[in-house]
Structure 1
Amino acid sequence: MALTIIIVKFVFLVSTVYSKVTLENSGFESQPTNLTTNSTSQFVLLNSKTNVIPGWSFNGTVWYVTAGGNISLPGNGHGLQLGPNGVINQTFKTDGSYYYTLTFTLAPSSMNCASNFTAVNVSGSDESKVFIYKESFGSEMWQTYAYSMSREIQRGIMGIQFQSVAGSNDCWPIIDTLLVNGIGSPRLYGDNGFMNSGFEVGPAFLDNSSQGILLDDDTNEEAFKVVQQWTILGMIKYIDSKHYAVPRGRGAVMLVSGNPSGILYNRRFSRHGKITLDFIMGDANDSCVGDFTVYLQVGNYMMWNFTMRSLGVGSRVRHSVTFKAEFSKTESVPISFSSFNVTRTSDQQVLCGPVIDSTVIRFSSSKILHYEPVIFCFVLATVFLI
């Protein structure tokens, strides 16, 4: 009976975590109206007076792009290249009180531009961020990024905007395949002392991408975290169990090479005593070969390091540390996992690194519930049946 109640509560929580948002023409497969250029051309310059992009408004220099040759896009479909002063935007209705994250694809226009500066400025309701294509972080000539669009808002209208950033050698950005999802206010998902302990609550994954989602520094404390409750240090990759070896659940984070790469959680301790912290460290079964070292730091003075030799075949190990909590009740204690090593996949020399998942923190004398894996499977079965 108790387990049934927990399952019902968990199903309710899962149903309130996400709010699905549908963008019109999110992959630009509905072509602009009144195209007059030869249909075999990969780049068609659009005119804001004669061409209309379904679902989008635009101004400045914008090209309609077809994949092929040197242009690679998800599903070999279509995208938009933003040239000088190129801007595209769309508004949508929000559904309830949520934070919103945007997943999108950024691609260079040629191999030469992959090693040069290709960037786009993305804006939500009240913030903006510049994303730069980074060579060697994936096996495709396009990359997927995620952006935290806003703080919590009420029902209304929200807009997203992409604007070109001047590149070198006319390396203008190509945008494709967008997803927006609303995420509910933070909750303690599971009795383990961390919110979003298994990194299940984060940006939406593209159906036709096996590359994961690149996430970079979001240390602005005022902003909503794109992986809920976790601050990103440097560059990480958000990965899913459909395409990678994920130790538990659907999502995990990969600490891609160096500079450093890490995640951080701020937590208050309401009482003193011995604390046990567990986590799983592994590789993503992506041929990432080399020596992994992960540094776990609690507060300013406690640090441990964990190493493993990765063969890139999906191995994993659970680590545990115990320390004494003597922090002030009002003190926000940073807990971070970071990596500085440089490792690459053996097949395509893509930058990679250790996977972190299933973080658990508790007072040593307390018991922790392990319903999460059972409930997760039950929820998946319920969703598919419905």
Structure 2
Amino acid sequence: MKIRNIFITCIWLAIASADTLQNSDFELPPTDWNETSPAFFPLNGSSIPGWTYDGAVQYVTAGGELSLPRNGHAVLLQEDGKINQTFVANGEEMQYLLTFTLGRRRARNCTANASLVVSAPDSSAQFSLTLKYGKESWEVYGHHLGSWGGGESVNLVIESQDIDAEPESTCWPVVDDVMLSTVGSLKQGDDNLLPNGGFELGPAFPDFPNDGVLLDSEPSLVESALQQWTVTGTVKYIDAKNFFVPEGKAAVEIVSGVSAGVQTAKQLDQGSDYNLEFMLGDANDSCSGVLVVGVAAGSSAQNFTIQSNGTGSAKKYAMTFKGAGPSPTSISFQSYTTTQRDDGVFCGPVIDGVVLKASSGHKSYMQFSFLMTVLLATVLKLGNLM
């Protein structure tokens, strides 16, 4: 256990915080703003340090009609509202992960939520405020922005998405705390065939109390904010500061109900035996009840039932299966229940500590094969010398 904890710590040290965005929390105000300016300040020709904009954009102050994680400032993107910033991806090629806070203005005539579109070169994703997965009036989202390096210039664009509603009745999106983090190449550990089995590599967590970072559906292992895992439905990326995490500093809570979950794939030897270990539990977020998780690995599948009291607990489970081959073997965790807390917030089972190992018999065979290969090479070398 001590060795594993050291390994997890090393992983976190390897995640380089890339706060390359200027004025990422919008606390540096527009050039013509002052303390007496209105709480919703239209940008009419003025500029926000670090950002450019188009369309109807307002610089907003928390309080009153606007609830934000902290009593600061943000931007409101109204009809055709857009902000953008260009940053330079220095050094070797890295995966760039984005975290941002999404909220809206509270108004009596606001009935329909506008969406938010985040884009970068060869990348685009749409986000909508749901307010189903936490107690706050804002949500934090994570997103895989792209992969760059070598001094490339990357233009990040955040804009409102028009909906079929009158502008006066539209809940336009509010954006705050836009953060970048980077992740380098993932390497397989000696004690786990899955590079990110502990879910330690993902988008950055905000430094304020939060309801977790929401990750929407992403079918690609490479383009996922949860590195090396695809996402079905919506899952919540949770940290040990705000939730119960079974192991390490991060885990995944499946929050959007039946058929939601995470999946990965690994090239394994066809027909060989493997052991899959994992931890299931709850996040200490009052998510109580019977939670059912379906685990599938190769052609093997099994359901696991957790009786949760919502106060933070976890248990280790295991199953054996055979490598599929010649294609990569799929490993998935899927929720079979939809669960809500007493306050109506959707919640679900926590997944963590996924460890994949070859069975002891297969290990012995691989070690024997390796030794025989070395022995044969030695004999051939000695024969050539003679």
- The question of 1:130 aligning with 2:129 is answered no
Write the mapping of 1:169-318 to structure 2, written as runs, cut at 5 A: 169-189=169-189, 191-220=191-220, 223-299=222-298, 301-318=299-316
Q: CA deviation at 1:324?
A: 2.7
Q: Give, as a single letter, the amino acid of the residue that structure 2 aligns with 1:127.
A: S
Q: CA deviation at 1:322?
A: 1.3
- For the residues of structure 1 that align with 2:341 and 2:76, how far apart are their CA atoms? 30
- The question of 1:359 aligning with 2:358 is answered no
- Given the alignment, which residue of 317, 320, 323 partners 1:322? 320
- For the residues of structure 1 that align with 2:223 and 2:291, how far apart are their CA atoms? 30
Deviations 1:19-38 (A, max 9, x none): 52332111111111113895
- Given the alignment, which residue of 340, 343, 353 partners 2:339? 343
Mapped contact 1:114–1:135 kept (Cα < 8 A) = no
Mapped contact 1:114–1:134 kept (Cα < 8 A) = no
Q: Give, as a single letter, the amino acid of the residue that structure 1 aligns with 2:134.
A: G
- For the residues of structure 2 that align with 1:64 and 1:202, how far apart are their CA atoms? 30
30-39 vs 167-176, greater mean Cα deviation: 30-39
| Cα 1:113/1:311, change in 2 over 3 Å | farther
- Given the alignment, which residue of 43, 46, 54 partners 2:49? 54
Aligned-pair identity in percent equals 37
Mapped contact 2:203–2:226 kept (Cα < 8 A) = yes
Q: CA deviation at 1:227?
A: 0.9
Q: CA deviation at 1:10?
A: 8.2
Instruction: Show structure 1 runs of 5+ residues with no match.
Output: 369-386
Mapped contact 2:15–2:184 kept (Cα < 8 A) = yes
| Aligned twin of 1:333 | 329
For 2:28, what is the secondary structure of its paired residue? coil
- For the residues of structure 2 that align with 1:11 and 1:246, how far apart are their CA atoms? 15
- For the residues of structure 2 that align with 1:262 and 1:194, how far apart are their CA atoms? 17
Deviations 1:140-170 (A, max 9, x none): 1100001111134433222211011124422
Q: CA deviation at 1:92?
A: 1.4
| Aligned twin of 2:30 | 32
- For the residues of structure 2 that align with 1:285 and 1:216, how far apart are their CA atoms? 22
Write the mapping of 1:13-162 to structure 2, written as runs, cut at 5 A: 15-35=13-33, 38-39=36-37, 41-47=38-44, 49=45, 51-96=46-91, 97-110=93-106, 116-162=112-158
| Aligned twin of 2:159 | 163
Q: In the comparison of the two structures, how many residue pairs are matched?
A: 356
Q: Give, as a single letter, the amino acid of the residue that structure 2 aligns with 1:257.
A: S
Q: CA deviation at 1:343?
A: 1.3
TM-score (normalised: structure 1): 0.86
Q: Give, as a single letter, the amino acid of the residue that structure 1 aligns with 2:80.
A: N
- For the residues of structure 2 that align with 1:150 and 1:164, how far apart are their CA atoms? 21
Q: Give the number of the structure whose alpha-carbon radius of gyration is greater.
A: 2
Q: CA deviation at 1:13?
A: 6.0
- For the residues of structure 2 that align with 1:306 and 1:191, how far apart are their CA atoms? 24
Q: CA deviation at 1:76?
A: 2.3
Q: Give, as a single letter, the amino acid of the residue that structure 2 aligns with 1:204.
A: A
Q: CA deviation at 1:242?
A: 0.7
Mapped contact 1:117–1:133 kept (Cα < 8 A) = yes
Q: Give, as a single letter, the amino acid of the residue that structure 1 aligns with 2:56.
A: T
Q: CA deviation at 1:259?
A: 4.4
- For the residues of structure 1 that align with 2:292 and 2:9, how far apart are their CA atoms? 37
Mapped contact 2:101–2:175 kept (Cα < 8 A) = yes
| Cα 1:107/1:279, change in 2 over 3 Å | same
Q: CA deviation at 1:16?
A: 4.0
Deviations 1:57-76 (A, max 9, x none): 01110011111123111112
TM-score (normalised: structure 2): 0.86
154-163 vs 126-135, greater mean Cα deviation: 154-163
Mapped contact 2:131–2:139 kept (Cα < 8 A) = no
- For the residues of structure 2 that align with 1:113 and 1:256, how far apart are their CA atoms? 30
- For the residues of structure 2 that align with 1:112 and 1:294, how far apart are their CA atoms? 41
Q: CA deviation at 1:246?
A: 0.3
| Aligned twin of 1:378 | none
- For the residues of structure 1 that align with 2:8 and 2:305, how far apart are their CA atoms? 35
Mapped contact 2:81–2:159 kept (Cα < 8 A) = yes
Q: Give, as a single letter, the amino acid of the residue that structure 2 aligns with 1:71.
A: L
- For the residues of structure 1 that align with 2:145 and 2:35, how far apart are their CA atoms? 35
Q: Give, as a single letter, the amino acid of the residue that structure 2 aligns with 1:289.
A: S
- For the residues of structure 2 that align with 1:171 and 1:308, how far apart are their CA atoms? 39
For 2:18, what is the secondary structure of its paired residue? strand
Q: CA deviation at 1:340?
A: 3.2
- For the residues of structure 1 that align with 2:352 and 2:211, how far apart are their CA atoms? 18
